[in-house]
Amino acid sequence: MNSVGEACTDMKREYDQCFNRWFAEKFLKGEGSGDPCTDLFKRYQQCVQKAIKEKEIPIEGLEFMGHSKEKSESSS
């Protein structure tokens, strides 16, 4: 699947490959002492966020791709 931003698609594939390799070869075997793909994810996340802004996709009120910067004090 391609990314929301055409320029981000290669980063997405690189991250997906890294994560899938780590998940299968380390995490599932109990060797998951951290995710070596964090830097790839952060670069991909920044690319997607830029693409969303450029395409003017409304995202108000949505939490996606990581923790939100603002946490609600109560969820009633």
**What angle do helix axes 9-25 and 38-54 make, rounded to 10 degrees?**
150
pLDDT of the residue at 69? 45
The residue extents of the domains of the chain are 6-55
The answer to pTM > 0.85 is: no
**How many CA atoms are closer than 13 Å to the CA of 42, on its beta-carbon side?**
5
Over the chain (76 residues), what is each successive 10-residue block's mean pLDDT? Answer: 83 94 91 86 92 79 53 42
Question: What are the angstrom distances between the C-alpha of 48 and each of 1, 30, 36, 39?
Answer: 14, 31, 20, 14
pLDDT of the residue at 65? 52
Token pair recorded at residue 29? 């075997």
Lookup result for tokens 């060797």: 31
